Amino acid sequence: MSDKIDAITIGVIRSHLVSVSREMGVTLRQTAYSNIFNEGSDFSCGVFDHTGRLWAQGEFLPIHLGALQFAVREAIEEVGISTFEEGDAVLLNDPYRGGTHLPDLTAITPIFYAGKIVAFAANRAHHADIGGTVAGSFYSKATENFQEGLRIPPIRFVRKGTIDPDLMEVILNNVRVPREMRGDLEAQISSNRTAVTRTIALCERYGVETVQRAADEICTQSENRMRAIITGWPDGSWAAEDFLDNDGINPEPIKVHVVATVAGDALTFDFSGTDDQVAGPMNSVRGMTASATFLAVQAAADPTIPANDGAYRPIKIIAPEGSLLNPRFPAPCTAGNETSHRIVNAVQKALAQLPNGPNVIAGDHGSSNNLLISSVDKRTQEFKVFFSYPEGGWGALDEKDGESALFSIVGNCKNMPAEAVELHFPIRLLRYELRQDTGGPGRHRGGLGTRRDYQVLADSASLSFVSDRCVIGANGLAGGLPGGPGQYLVDRGDGAELAAPEFVSKGTQIPLRAGDIVSQCTAGGGGFGEPSERAATDITRDLELGYISASAAKEIYGMDQ
């Protein structure tokens, strides 16, 4: 057989592998129990080679782009590739052994062809609860990983096609929503089985050697495209930093500092100037840090480059052990997804300084806006755990305003419909709207944040949230001003007040009763360019649409009514 595979065959195999990843997501969404999966699509799916290198991934959560590789490689190393049998699957969530944070469970399945492992299928999905101190497992007061939930090392969860009933019982007895957990875990296993079937069909059509060589070439093409773009940027180093509100334990802001260096066709991101690991749960483990860096570069360079192992080969990351971005066990890290936003923002700020460099947006709302309302059903005594992670404003660009009401750049989740919320939880959605004056002023305005008001219908409930951007707003660029910060409010019938005055963006087990209204107000994006340069027609349009107030038009933009 010729050593060279024709371009058409490579293109077909590339599309097939991406299609496999997409179909995994469809299976997961349609067979899951929880709203987080089947409405919010808070998951990612991918196909990997026999060593754990990413071949292809569906268009799901960008924050899983690089992190899933850590999980697959950890599973191969700890379980042992020679011990796998057809029909097996590994489950893990330990952040220090391939995971990101405990609510994200990863299922990994070997794909056999002609008796040998030729690839792996893997998916990662966020579960409604994984135990721990707080319902929903976002505990803003956590000081060690043990308090955040059940830690699952890489274990053989499925043996020859059958889920291990003992391991399933261990998991179900440690979570508050066992029925949802069982259904969602089974959905994850089914998702991988879809990949097994489709990948075997691909091997049967083209031969396993052709598929593997084509996949290697696909990764090389991504690497070459990424290096070509980096080569067009000027050599040099640029520093930037951004700040998290606090860690939920201490009120001081937390610094994320990066030095971005371009050298020929390679990039280095040195986070050595970042603060040390913190007492609270804002620490970001290696996989999360790598993924956030990768996605920021890919968005800045060329989002059309296929997401695979090759796309990230030109990128080197330095994050000293013991720092916020590479903590030592057992540092708490469930809110590392919040820190991933700040990594993206800092990397973008650094890249924005390159002369004739990439076109990047100003800071976005920069939070997953994790809010949980839990209660117990009086009739069944079952826990109800409502997880809300709504949209906010994106930063403006040099040529356009920022988008309003979009999920953060690290996520690609779907809007949680009011009907789904009210059908499954003792909650009524009273308000869902854009927040006026939250878009950072500039020649181009940042996108607006959102407000959702939830009325509690249960006799009693508990509110917990781990968020950010409620103290320090999203950064502007080129003279643009910061976006408006977020808020979490509770109205018990005598006016809305901050739910957690000391930390603003983080609160734990706040008691609620029937009739209380919880307001979740997300941040806006930063502006781009000087506000004085904004066109009068744009200001007038914003006034007519209610995006800005009359006072903002006058005081910030200098426009009289």
pLDDT (tens digit per residue) in 359-395: 999 999 999 999 999 999 988 989 999 999 999 999 9
CA angle, residues 39, 44, 46, in degrees to nearest 5: 140
Backbone angles phi, psi at 477, to 5 degrees: -130, 150
Residues 274-333: tens digit of each pLDDT = 999 999 999 999 999 999 999 999 999 999 999 999 999 999 999 999 999 999 999 999
Q: How confident is the model at residue 183 (pLDDT cuts 50, 70, 90)?
A: very high
What's the pLDDT at 38?
Answer: 85
User: What's the number of CA atoms in the CB half-sphere (13 Å) around residue 229?
Assistant: 23
- 108, 75 Cβ separation under 8 angstroms: yes
Residues 236-261: tens digit of each pLDDT = 999 999 999 999 999 999 999 999 99
Q: How confident is the model at residue 67 (pLDDT cuts 50, 70, 90)?
A: confident
CA distance 40 to 34: 9
What's the pLDDT at 443?
Answer: 98
- 331, 247 Cβ separation under 8 angstroms: no
CA 518 to each of CA 149, 183, 227, 472, 559: distance values in angstroms, whole numbers, following the listed order: 25, 29, 48, 22, 35
Arithmetic mean of pLDDT over the chain: 96
Confidence check: pLDDT of 2 > 70: no
Q: How confident is the model at residue 110 (pLDDT cuts 50, 70, 90)?
A: very high
- At a CB cut-off of 8 Å and minimum separation 6, what does 116 contact? none
* DSSP assignments along 454-502, one per residue: EEE-SSEEEEEEE---SSSPPPPBTTPPPPPP-EEEEESSS-EEESSTT
CA angle, residues 115, 118, 122, in degrees to nearest 5: 120
Q: Stretch 476-497: mean pLDDT, rounded? A: 97
CA distance 265 to 297: 13
What's the pLDDT at 40?
Answer: 83
What's the pLDDT at 235?
Answer: 97
This prediction has a pTM of: 0.96
Name the maximum alpha-carbon separation found in the chain. 78
CA distance 468 to 522: 9
Between helix 178-206 and helix 7-31 the angle, nearest 10°, is: 160
Confidence check: pLDDT of 352 > 50: yes
Confidence check: pLDDT of 124 > 70: yes
For residue 44, the cross-strand partners are: 124
CB atoms within 10 A of CB 272: 12
What's the pLDDT at 364?
Answer: 97
What's the pLDDT at 417?
Answer: 87
Selection from 456, 450, 472, 478 nearest residue 390 by Cα:
450
Q: What percent of the chain has pLDDT over 90?
A: 92
Q: Stretch 552-556: mean pLDDT, rounded? A: 95
Selection from 261, 259, 242 nearest residue 343 by Cα:
242
What's the pLDDT at 1?
Answer: 40
Tell me the domain boundaries of the chain. 7-221, 391-561
- 68, 286 Cβ separation under 8 angstroms: no
Confidence check: pLDDT of 447 > 90: yes
Q: How many residues does the chain have?
A: 561
Selection from 317, 340, 314, 75 nearest residue 192 by Cα:
75
What's the pLDDT at 561?
Answer: 61
For the chain, what percentages of helix, strand and coil (3-state, to nearest 5) are there? 30, 25, 45
Confidence check: pLDDT of 200 > 60: yes
Q: Residue 128 gets which letter from DSSP?
A: S
Q: Residue 173 gets which letter from DSSP?
A: T
What's the pLDDT at 409?
Answer: 85
